[in-house]
Chain A
Amino acid sequence: MHGPAALQLTPDGRLKHLLTTEGLPKSLITELLDTAETFLSSQGQPVKKVPLLRGKTVVNLFFENSTRTRTTFDIAAHRLSADVVTLDIRTSSASKGETLFDTLKNLEAMQADLFVVRHSAGGAPFFIADRVTPDIAVINAGDGTHAHPTQALLDLMTIRKHKGDPANLSVAIVGDLKHSRVARSLVHGLRGMGCPDIRAIAPGTLLPADLAHLGVRTFHHIDDGLSDVDVIVLLRLQKERMSNALLPSEREFFNLYGMTESRLRHAKDNAIVMHPGPINRGVEIANEVADGPQAVILDQVTNGIAIRMAVMAMTLSTQQGSHS
Chain B
Amino acid sequence: MHEIRSQKATEAALQNLINQVRDGYRGNSPLVVGIHTGGAWVASRLCEALQWAAPATLDISLYRDDFETSGLKRSGTTDRMPQQLNGENILLIDDVLFTGRTIRAALNVLFDYGRPGTIHLGILFDRGGRELPIEPTFLGESLGEEGVGRCKLHGPEPLMLMTPNSE
Contacts and interface: CB of A to CB of B under 8 A. Distances in A.
14 contacts: A35-B72, A37-B77, A38-B77, A41-B59, A41-B77, A45-B113, A46-B83, A47-B112, A50-B62, A51-B108, A52-B72, A320-B69, A322-B69, A324-B71
Given A45-B113, A320-B68, A35 B74 contact: yes
A52 B74 CA distance: 12
A300 B68 CA distance: 31
B70 A320 contact: yes
Nearest to A322: B71
A146 to B, nearest CB: 28
A163 B76 CA distance: 22
B contact patch SS: loop
Interface of B: 59, 61-64, 67-74, 76-79, 81, 83-84, 108, 112-114
Contact of A317 (B63, B71, B79, B81): B71
A53 B68 CA distance: 9
Interface residues of A, number: 24
A46 B114 contact: yes
Contacts of A45: 81, 112-113
B108 to A, nearest CB: 7
Contact of B62 (A46, A52, A318, A320): A52
A39 to B, nearest CB: 8
Given A38-B77, A41-B79, A52-B64, 14 more contacts: A38-B61, A42-B78, A44-B83, A46-B84, A46-B112, A46-B114, A47-B112, A47-B113, A51-B63, A51-B108, A320-B67, A320-B71, A322-B69, A322-B71
Contacts of A50: 62-63, 112
A79 to B, nearest CB: 10
Contacts of B72: 35, 52, 313-314, 317
B74 A38 contact: yes
Closest 6 CB pairs of A and B: A322-B71, A317-B71, A317-B72, A50-B62, A47-B112, A320-B71
A38 B59 contact: yes
A249 B48 CA distance: 66
Nearest to A312: B72
A299 interface: no
A317 B78 contact: no
Contacts, number: 59
Nearest to A56: B67
Interface centre among B64, B74, B83 (most CB of A within 10 A): B74
Given A35-B74, A50-B62, A317 B84 contact: no
A34 interface: yes
B72 to A, nearest CB: 4
Contacts of A39: 62
B61 A317 contact: no
A83 to B, nearest CB: 15
Contacts of A52: 62-64, 67, 72
A40 B74 CA distance: 13
Nearest to B65: A51
A192 B29 CA distance: 49
Contacts of A34: 74
Interface in A268-324: 313-314, 317-318, 320, 322, 324
Contacts of A41: 59, 77-79
Nearest to B76: A38
Given A38-B59, A42-B62, A47-B112, A324 B78 contact: no
Contacts of B64: 52
Contact of B73 (A37, A53, A80, A324): A324
B78 A53 contact: no
Contacts of A47: 112-113
A313 to B, nearest CB: 5
A80 B62 CA distance: 8
Contacts of A42: 62, 78
A39 B77 CA distance: 9
A44 B63 CA distance: 16
Given A38-B74, A38-B77, A53 B113 contact: no
A314 B62 CA distance: 12
